[in-house]
Structure 1
């Protein structure tokens, strides 16, 4: 075998080895990224579980509905700093607003979006019985431009008992701040338990309401 042929074969071998090394390195990178992503997801789930545990613990021993909602309000505000919180609970003649003074920026009710939610919108949100952002809320009344509400990042989370709406939780921040999807997910994780606790403190609505 000539020297030239040996060099050619050596170059081919080195090229093949380099290609295999790059492929292996790529697989290792993918594996590392998957492990990092899984670790982040695991930590996020642990964080959510921790919040849920503390939230439910704070509700224990609540003597009545007002104390229950006040404790829930406090826990949510602590978890989501700078966020406004309000509860709308269905009654036989409409919805009752429960709002607690928290951060100074929300000390005046007029600083929040509650006054801009008409009874028709509130009822529509209740009937939807799902998470609603301003986009979904706007679709409930196409004739309204919702100029006042657009000053806020808004999301509502349903309070329900076996599929029946008990009302909803309203979260908001003044724009350009926003309520993030991750924050919504953390609060959503406790809505079922909160709904059951609310149901336990109230006289059930009459059938058909």
Structure 2
């Protein structure tokens, strides 16, 4: 009789422990979900704030050089540690712009931008998605493997779902890969940036006659 009683008690304790472990696991999963949801919400808020501030900063710009410089400064703050090069189509060729340089630049001898051909630039500019290194290689990027292995890179077309004007090329050390949330934020602002660039082309700044 005592053996049966002890056996029932052991079974009861075993079931109780199993129930507690399941509850602990469920609580752990719930906490992880809550933390992930909070992080996602914070990312969305940061993205919204950045987008609003970015568009506000463009409103005061009336020439293409100033527009590109302000845009590059904002993007550099959003994606710290990355080199940003803005490719703009120019007929059958292209121009390059980078931070604090309002005129076209020459490709850096050690930079990823030197390996883009006009055909690659046109194809990437007309893509309607964020292009990975693999995508860019498929479109004509001809960079050696030792260069690509050292960087995390992506291209964000300026005119998604519309005729391309160019794209943003971002890259930084492979040890600090570009984050999807950073690239997605830039994808959201590119349509507005492309419209602002198109407006600058249609309405160049007027100059006052010399007195």
| TM-score normalised over the length of structure 2 | 0.79
Residue-by-residue CA offset, 1:138-191 (whole Å, 9 max, x unaligned) = 12349x563575254331101116522121111122555543333222322322
- Structure 1 residues 1-209: aligned runs within 5 Å: 2-101=1-100, 109-141=108-140, 144=142, 146-147=144-145, 149-150=147-148, 152-160=151-159, 162-174=161-173, 177-203=176-202
Q: Summarize the Cα distance change of 1:30–1:82 in structure 2 as closer, same or farther, 3 Å threshold.
A: closer
**2: distance between equivalents of 1:121 and 1:43?**
36
Residue-by-residue CA offset, 1:110-158 (whole Å, 9 max, x unaligned) = 342223212222122223343222221212349x563575254331101
User: Which one is further off, 177-186 or 159-168?
Assistant: 177-186
Q: SS of the counterpart of 2:80? A: coil
Q: SS of the counterpart of 1:87? A: strand
Please report the RMSD computed on the Cα atoms of aligned residues, expressed in angstroms: 2.9
Q: CA deviation at 1:81?
A: 2.3
Q: Is the 8 A contact 1:129 1:165 kept in 2?
A: no
**1: distance between equivalents of 2:11 and 2:70?**
71
Structure 1 portions without partners, runs of 5+: 205-209
User: Which one is further off, 146-155 or 28-37?
Assistant: 146-155
Q: Is the 8 A contact 1:116 1:148 kept in 2?
A: no
Q: SS of the counterpart of 1:165? A: coil
What is aligned with 1:207?
none
Q: Summarize the Cα distance change of 1:107–1:83 in structure 2 as closer, same or farther, 3 Å threshold.
A: farther
Would you say how many aligned residue pairs link Structure 1 and Structure 2?
Answer: 199
Q: SS of the counterpart of 1:42? A: helix
Q: SS of the counterpart of 1:63? A: coil
| TM-score normalised over the length of structure 1 | 0.80
**1: distance between equivalents of 2:173 and 2:31?**
39
Q: SS of the counterpart of 1:69? A: helix
Q: Summarize the Cα distance change of 1:100–1:138 in structure 2 as closer, same or farther, 3 Å threshold.
A: same
Q: Summarize the Cα distance change of 1:8–1:191 in structure 2 as closer, same or farther, 3 Å threshold.
A: same
**1: distance between equivalents of 2:165 and 2:137?**
21
User: Which one is further off, 133-142 or 11-20?
Assistant: 133-142
**2: distance between equivalents of 1:32 and 1:146?**
45
